[in-house]
Structure formats: C-alpha cells, structure tokens
Structure 1
Amino acid sequence: MPIKQKTQEIAKYLLSLFFFLPLLAHSQNQPGIPKPSGPVDLNDTSDLVIYIIIPAIILILFLVFRKRIFKIKEEKQEEREEKGN
C-alpha cells in the first residue's frame, strides 16, 4: 500500500472521528440531572483530595518513572556501545 494511500486513509478516519466526537459528547448529557456550575469548594476534604492531592501524586509518580525509564535506556545504550567496541 503506497504511503499516500495510507495517509489518505488515516486522514479519513481522523476526519470521521472529529465529526462523531461532538455527537458522542452530546449524547452523554443526561436531562434532569443537576449540573454544578460554581467553583470547586476546596474547604471540603473530598474535593481537596480529588482535585489537588491525587493529581499531584499522579504527576510526581509520572516524573519519577519517566526519569527511571530514561536512566534505564541510557544504561542499555552504554552497554551496547561497550559491546560494540
């Protein structure tokens, strides 16, 4: 399959995805369910945990594991270079 044809197929799928995503998002709107429109009250412990603490923990873990992955990749690269010499 030529590259141009693959690119056209990918573009076709992405375009159809862009058309259907708003429909899917709109279908998630439930009538009759209250929707809070005010700011988040961080005085409530559960809101503080959900909106501040858990995302901070996820971000810290992501940064730690990313650093570890880079270190492992560098060690493997150094081992390959040593084997090559």
Structure 2
Amino acid sequence: MEQMTKQIFRVVPILMGLMAILSNDVFAQIPTGTPRTDEPIDLSTTSDIIIYLVLPLVVIVLGIFWWFFYKKPKNQKAEEERKKSNK
C-alpha cells in the first residue's frame, strides 16, 4: 500500500506537468474586453515590487523552512523507527 502511494505521488506531478504543457494554448487565450499590455513589468511601483518580487520570495523561503523544520525531521523520525523495528 505504501509503495503504491509513493508511485502515485511520483506519477501525478508528471501528468500535471504534461497537461500544463500540452494545454498551453488554452490557458494562453485572453478573454475579450480585458485590457492587454505587452509592456514589461514596471518595478518602480511598490505594488509591482510586492507582487512580483516579495511574495514569490516569501513563498519560497517559507517552503524551505517548512521542509527543513517540519518535513525533514518527520522523515528522519520515521526512518529511525523503521531501523528500530528491523533490529
């Protein structure tokens, strides 16, 4: 059961990535009546700095902290329990 779950978690991201790549044209359509600009991001405004720089960096940093302080120790504890049960 555990091995099947691991296989599913390996296959799902691959399938989602393929769906995102293959359906790129569908997601790239711009609805009618919406303003469209082909200009690059203007980093002289505070809102653009927050949206395009600060928020992604915060998400990345929080993800790294979550991995090192929650997920990684939890995996180490599970591995230690497996080693003890095998002895």
TM-score range with shorter-chain normalisation?
A: 0.5 to 0.7
How far, CA to CA, are the matches of 2:47 and 2:36 in structure 1?
A: 18
Aligned residues: 68
Gaps of 5+ in 1: 1-13
Q: Give, in whole Å, the separation in 1 of the partners of 2:84 and 2:37.
A: 60
How has the CA–CA distance of structure 1 residues 53 and 23 changed in structure 2, closer, same or farther, with 3 Å as cutoff? closer
Task: Tell me the residue number matched to 2:41.
Answer: 40
Decide which structure has the larger Cα Rg and report it.
1
1:9-56 CA-partner distances (Å, limit 9, x unpaired): xxxxx79x93xx256335x42233221111111111111110000000
Which of 51, 73, 77 is equivalent to 2:75?
73
With the length of structure 1 as denominator, give the TM-score of the two structures.
0.63
Matches within 5 A, 1:4-83: 18=22, 21-22=23-24, 24-25=26-27, 28-67=29-68, 68-83=70-85
- Give the share of equivalent positions with the same residue, in percent: 25
Question: What is the CA–CA distance in structure 1 between the aligned matches of 2:24 and 2:74, rounded to whole Å?
Answer: 41
Distance change >3 Å, CA 23–CA 45, structure 1 → 2? closer
Q: Structure 1's 39 and 72: CA in aligned 2 closer, same or farther, altered over 3 A?
A: same
> What RMSD over aligned residues (CA atoms) do the two structures have, in Å?
2.5
- Corresponding position of 1:7: none
Segments of structure 2 that go 5 or more residues without pairing to the other structure are 1-17
Distance 1:59 1:33, change over 3 A: same
